[in-house]
Amino acid sequence: MKKKILFVCLGNICRSPSAEAVMKEYISINQLESAMVCDSAGTSGWHIGDLADNRMRKHAAKRNYKLESIARQFDPEKDFDAFDLIIGMDAQNLIDLRALARNKTDLQKLKLMTNYCTRHSNYDSVPDPYYGGDEGFELVLDILEDACEGLLKELQ
Ligand code: 4NP
């Protein structure tokens, strides 16, 4: 069975679409398309229909990641059933997702992205880059590359 992974942040325009793009690149490099699939969503509906943030896309493009996803809001009625792993970027994302869980099965699908890191083990969240500068967007990508490597290893 294909593992279905959903990355979740607040707006679905910075961190989770980047996580999706990094993971899709790793899936492609490792020819794992038949084993896993991923998507992303936001806990808020603030940016529904938007492309990822221009700054995030610019920094991601420098590392050859294409951010093509369109922002959508997490839908508890569909997404808890459609995905095996639902991975929040920070503690507040997980608080918000937990509040939407319908049962124990839903709760067991919820994970924290930084728990998959091996090199950035001093971070307990992927910091929200929205109100910061260039270095915040680079840090997001550094942490996500580390976490996606760990996630890939765990799933294989
Ligand atoms: P994201 O970043 O959750 O990584 O997509 C944010 C995007 C937008 C806002 C906050 C964080 N906002 O306040 O609109």
**Total tally of structural domains belonging to the chain:** 1
pLDDT at 8: 98
What residues flank ligand 1, with Cβ below 6 Å? 9-15, 46, 128, 130
CA–CA separation, 119 and 39 (whole Å): 24
Percent of the chain with pLDDT over 70: 100
Residue range of the domain that includes 58: 3-155
127-143 average pLDDT score: 97
| Residue pLDDT, tens place only, 67-102 | 999 999 999 999 999 999 999 999 999 999 999 999
User: Residue 44 is encoded by which pair of tokens?
Assistant: 């808020």
Cα of 81 vs centre of ligand 1, distance in Å, is 25
CA–CA separation, 59 and 21 (whole Å): 12
CA–CA separation, 2 and 36 (whole Å): 5
pLDDT at 30: 96
The number of angstroms, rounded, from the C-alpha of 145 to the middle of its chain's C-alpha atoms is 11
Q: Which residue has the CA at smallest separation from atom 7 of ligand 1?
A: 11
* CATH code of the domain containing 101: 3.40.50.2300
pLDDT at 145: 98
Q: Which residue has the CA at smallest separation from atom 9 of ligand 1?
A: 11
Percent of the chain with pLDDT over 90: 98
| Residue pLDDT, tens place only, 94-129 | 999 999 999 999 999 999 999 999 999 899 999 999
